């Protein structure tokens, strides 16, 4: 049984204006960490209008669902008591003239020193999925096999259409904002663990990045845990969509592990085409054609069906099919978080208050199914 864990990043918004508010430390204290969550489960982020949660290591998706609900509810209640709201959106929909301050600490100070205004504009929130693979050589082989599916995961997760009060025309504006750091995007295909580590050593030695924490590839080996970390996805409006994506990532990793052991050739894609596929997924989400794992444009529904077919044995082995298949169908029917945010703004006749209300309500009441 391959273990799984999820990290989510949230915004703190003013309930009246929808503007980000710098109350991360206050909200974390108000959540009552000793009573509600372990210290490591609730963490600060780069900017003081953000907060991050991390589930414990889980073997069942029902565990992931329970922890995400618990953490979302704890932080939402704490935010209300602190005069703000918790928002699971991957970009700040409204912006004001006041800059959100950077969180104190050496690491965040270094990031600000390196990125300047770029760091100030990082009001974007992702979702990271860790899958447990303890042998790092094998983990690199798995990484090589799942990279061609990263555009599909991004398209499914797109949840950041608005920026500074305007529609960006992108489904995942977060992807564009985050891509400005020195090391990001789709990871290269590596010849093995030595090649992977040589690449990291060269990047750190260049001094352009200060440590391995600044390897912002869309998927990487974790330096803290015996896991692969898939980090291309926007944070999800609904907790059950986050659970679905966690199941898909575990299914991809388990399938890659099986194919590696069976010596099945790696599906490759030219790096420039793979990068183009990521851009296309960020631009359109599921509202257009997707580039499949061979780089050819296909209807989004067909690509998602192929994805589920590809990982079905792994989903069934882990008991995850019931968490994944119905929600993939719902996703195709109702659209991504970006689609639903746009519909909420239209229903509110362009009133951003209606959009903020929708986002914050979905953050809490989008409960996982089958829990």
Q: Are 235 and 127 in contact (CB under 8 A)?
A: yes
Give the helix ranges, DSSP H, for 149-217: 150-157, 173-178, 193-205
pLDDT of 190 higher than 50: yes
Three-state DSSP class for residue 85: strand
Q: What is the mean pLDDT of the chain?
A: 93
Residues 147-163 pLDDT 10s: 999 999 999 999 999 99
Angle CA(122)–CA(240)–CA(237) in degrees, nearest 5? 35
Cα 251 to Cα 242: distance, rounded to the nearest angstrom? 14
Dmax over Cα atoms in the chain, in whole Å?
A: 57
H or E segment and range at residue 180: none
Cα 188 to Cα 185: distance, rounded to the nearest angstrom? 9
CB atoms within 10 A of CB 361: 14
Which range among 25-39, 45-59, 251-265, 315-329 shows the weakest confidence by mean pLDDT?
A: 25-39
Structure confidence at residue 37 (pLDDT) = 52
Cα 205 to Cα 173: distance, rounded to the nearest angstrom? 31
Q: Exposure of 281 by Cβ count < 10 A (0-12 exposed, 13-18 middle, 19+ buried)? A: buried
pLDDT of 38 higher than 60: no
Q: What is the CA radius of gyration of the chain?
A: 19
**Running DSSP on this structure, what letter comes out for residue 214?**
G
Dihedral (C-alpha) 286, 288, 290, 296: value to the nearest 10 degrees? 170
Cα 145 to Cα 255: distance, rounded to the nearest angstrom? 9
pLDDT of 309 higher than 70: yes
Structure confidence at residue 371 (pLDDT) = 35
Task: Domains for the chain: give ranges and CATH numbers.
Answer: 4-365 (3.30.590.20)
Q: What number of CA atoms fall less than 13 Å from residue 86's CA on the CB side? A: 33
Cα 352 to Cα 165: distance, rounded to the nearest angstrom? 8
Query: Strand runs (DSSP E) across 204-286, as ranges?
Result: 216-217, 219-221, 227-234
pLDDT of 286 higher than 60: yes
Among residues 241, 270, 244, 266, the alpha carbon closest in space to that of 255 is found at 266
Residues 222-236 pLDDT 10s: 999 999 999 999 999
């Amino acid at each position: 049984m391959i273990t799984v864990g999820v990290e989510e990043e949230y915004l703190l918004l003013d309930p009246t204006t929808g503007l980000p508010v710098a109350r991360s430390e206050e909200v974390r204290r108000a959540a009552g960490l000793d009573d509600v969550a372990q210290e490591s489960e609730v963490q600060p982020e780069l900017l003081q209008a953000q907060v991050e949660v991390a589930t414990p290591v889980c073997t069942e998706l029902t565990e992931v669902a329970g922890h995400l609900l618990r953490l979302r509810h704890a932080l939402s209640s704490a935010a209300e008591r602190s005069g703000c709201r918790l928002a699971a959106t991957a970009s700040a929909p409204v912006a004001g003239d006041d800059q959100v301050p950077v969180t104190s600490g050496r690491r965040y100070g270094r990031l600000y020193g390196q990125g300047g205004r770029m760091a100030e504009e990082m009001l974007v929130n992702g979702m990271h999925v860790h899958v447990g693979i303890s042998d790092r050589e094998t983990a690199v082989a798995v990484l090589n096999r799942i990279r061609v599916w990263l555009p599909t995961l991004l398209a499914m997760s797109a949840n950041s259409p608005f920026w500074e009060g305007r529609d960006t025309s992108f489904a995942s504006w977060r992807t564009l904002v985050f891509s400005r750091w020195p090391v990001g995007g789709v990871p290269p295909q590596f010849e093995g663990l030595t090649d992977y580590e040589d690449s990291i050593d060269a990047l750190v030695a260049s001094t352009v990045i200060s440590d391995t924490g600044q390897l912002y590839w869309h998927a990487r080996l974790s330096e803290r845990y015996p896991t692969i970390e898939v980090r291309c996805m926007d944070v999800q409006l609904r907790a059950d969509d986050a659970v679905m994506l966690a199941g898909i990532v575990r299914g991809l990793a388990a399938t890659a592990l099986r194919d590696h052991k069976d010596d099945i050739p790696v599906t490759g894609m030219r790096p420039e085409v793979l990068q183009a596929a990521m851009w296309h997924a960020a631009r359109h989400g599921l509202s257009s054609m997707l580039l499949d794992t061979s780089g050819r444009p296909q209807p989004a529904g067909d690509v998602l069906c192929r994805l589920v077919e590809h990982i079905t044995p792994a989903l069934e082995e882990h008991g995850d099919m019931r968490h994944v298949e119905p929600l993939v169908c719902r996703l195709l029917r109702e659209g991504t978080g970006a689609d639903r945010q746009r519909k909420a703004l239209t229903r509110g006749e362009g009133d951003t208050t209606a959009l903020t209300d929708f986002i914050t309500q979905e953050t809490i009441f989008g409960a996982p199914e089958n829990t």
